[in-house]
Amino acid sequence: MKLLIDYQYFGTVNYYKMLFDFKHIEFEEYERYQKGSFRNRTIIPGANGLITLSVPLQNGRDQRSLFRDIKIAYKDNWVLQHTRALDACFMRAPFYDFYRDSLFSILKSQEEFLMDLDRKLILWVLKMMKAQFEISYSSSYEMNMNEDSKDARNIFLPNQFSALNRPVKYAQVFEDRNGFQPNMSILDLLFCCGPSAAGLLRDNSNRF
């Protein structure tokens, strides 16, 4: 079965857990941009609670252009803000130093389009986890999917990201201070667990 799913900026652990349920993943490239999604934001656990990192957009977040046409705004140095936040939150994570430089090189590449940045980051995460999928990209927008496809577009949203039945559990940097925070950005799992991150996703997978 093929999974059709939207792009996300460092999607949540559950977003990636769903990817590991399928061998063929198709990314949606012809939908309209929707505000209030993870396409330009991610959530990480900090010393004093959860931190939302957002990528600012040219023309704001209320536009109804195709997602593939949405451009990133660089007027404010959000890349520096994000990299500093990642340093502050994960400098004590066991595997952060191993991934930091290659990740930061992507963030600093100043991609023009949000979709291109999201795609690069998703492929980087999958490469770091040594995940091998058949990956394709939509060529048009299809409202309804056939029976051999799972439509997972727009099911992982910021307003319900923590509503979970079986969260993937692992040791977090600030767990002793704030308790375990479920379904954070995939970066949290990767930086804390390193090579074992993919195994945790597979062990907690749910077949569709």
Q: Does pLDDT of 121 surpass 90?
A: yes
Q: What is the DSSP secondary structure assignment for residue 134, as one 8-state letter?
A: E
The answer to whether residue 208 scores a pLDDT higher than 50 is no
- As a whole number, mean pLDDT of residues 128-132 equals 94
Average pLDDT (112-140) is: 96
What was the pLDDT predicted at 146? 80
Q: What helix, strand, coil percent values describe the chain, rounded to 5?
A: 35, 15, 45
Single-letter residue type at 110: Q
> Between 186-193 and 96-107, two packed helices, what is the crossing angle to 10 degrees?
140
Query: What distance in Å separates the CA atoms of residue 79 and residue 47, rounded to the nearest whole number?
Result: 20
Structure tokens at 147: 């029976």
H-run or E-run covering 24: strand 24-27
| Annotated domain spans of the chain | 2-203
CB atoms within 10 A of CB 102: 11
Residue 163: how many other CB atoms lie within 10 Å: 9
Closest CA to 149 of 18, 17, 26: 26
Q: What is the mean pLDDT of the chain?
A: 93
Q: What is the pLDDT of residues 137-164, one digit of tens each?
A: 999 998 887 888 999 999 999 988 776 6
Integer Cα distance of 182 and 132 in angstroms: 25
Reply yes or no on whether the pLDDT at 199 is more than 80.
Answer: yes
Whether 102 shows a pLDDT value over 80: the answer reads yes
Q: How much is the average pLDDT of 43-61?
A: 93
Give pLDDT, residue 1.
87
pLDDT of residue 37 exceeding 60? yes
Q: What is the pLDDT of residues 38-51, one digit of tens each?
A: 999 999 999 999 99
Share of the chain above pLDDT 70, in %: 96
pTM of the model: 0.93
Q: Rounded distance, CA 156 to CA 158, Å?
A: 7
Size of the chain, expressed as the number of residues it contains: 208
